[in-house]
Each structure stands twice: as C-alpha cells, then as structure tokens.
Structure 1
C-alpha cells in the first residue's frame, strides 16, 4: 500500500454545514475502504489547513479517484501528497551514488 497525506479545507458549502462533517468523514472512510484503501490517521488542524488525513491506497489511481470523489461533494478541497516511508527514503538516498 502507498501512503498519502491529504490536506483538506472546507469550502463555503462545507463550513455552512460543518456540524455534518463527522458524518461526512465516516462516509469518506467507508468509501475509501470500498476502494481498497483506508484512513490511518485523521486530525482537525489549525493553520493553513482545516484537516489532515494520512491514508493508504493500493495505487495512485485509486487515491486520485477518491480525492476527485471527495471534491465532487463540494464540501472540501484537498491536496494530496504521496508519502515515502523512512525505509523508502533511505533506499532513495542510498541510490544517489
């Protein structure tokens, strides 16, 4: 599985119905699970982003489909970062020659 960091911000629509956000999160978790992935961590954050999620998915296409599906709901905008775990980081660094 590949790890992704998802940075989320509520849209105007999403913040108007922010009390429904926990229900939407549950639906998103279920949706990603049905696509073969999962949420590993979820945080409400202060600063540039309203929320941060650490997710896993089988591949980039699944994560792209999930992010687009979230966006289609109109409640959040997201930025997705592909994350390399420490072992992969060390392998990449060692390969630099």
Structure 2
C-alpha cells in the first residue's frame, strides 16, 4: 500500500486542547481504518511541525479523504507527502533505464 507522511501543525484550537492530543490520535487512527487505510505511527515533535503521522492508504484519494477529515475537525493543518519505500524506488529507477 502507498505510504504517506503527514506533517501536522496545531491550530489555535488544537493547542488550547493539547491535553486531548493522545485521544485525538486514537480517534484519527480509528477513522483512517474505517476508510480502508492504516495509521502506522504518530510522533509528537519539536520544531516546525507539532506531529508527524505515517499513514498507509490504498490510493491517493483515500489518503486525501482521511487527511481532509482530520483537518476538518480543526485541531491541525496538514502538509502531506507521498513516500516511496526502497522497492518502490527501485521500480521507479528501473523505468528510467528504458
């Protein structure tokens, strides 16, 4: 399944309710699963982003739906990156050898 890295920043609402962040992560994981995706891991970070989530989804549309749901709650804003594993990257490189 494709992997997505979501860089998350708390909104004003999210930081006001920081004590609920672990529970919100659990709720996000359940919501992602209902869409047919998986929350592989989530990290709380120090720096320009407050959290980093690693999500597997069957396709771009499912990943986008999951992150739209997350952003729509109003606690975070996301920047999402499509990540490629080693095997995927080797397949991509093989295509360039044509």
**Which TM class, normalised by the smaller chain length?**
over 0.9
**Alpha-carbon separation, structure 2, partners of 1:58 and 1:94:** 23
Give the match for residue 96 of structure 1: 96
* Residues 34-92 of structure 1 deviation map (CA, whole Å, 9 limit, x = unaligned): 11111112111111111101110111111111111111100000011111111111121
| Count of residues in Structure 1 that have an aligned counterpart in Structure 2 | 97
Give the match for residue 77 of structure 1: 77
Q: Report the TM-score when normalising by structure 1.
A: 0.95
- 1:82 partner SS: strand
Alignment of 1:48-67 (within 5 A): 48-67=48-67
What runs of 5+ residues in structure 2 fail to find an aligned partner?
none
CA RMSD, Structure 1 to Structure 2 (Å):
0.9
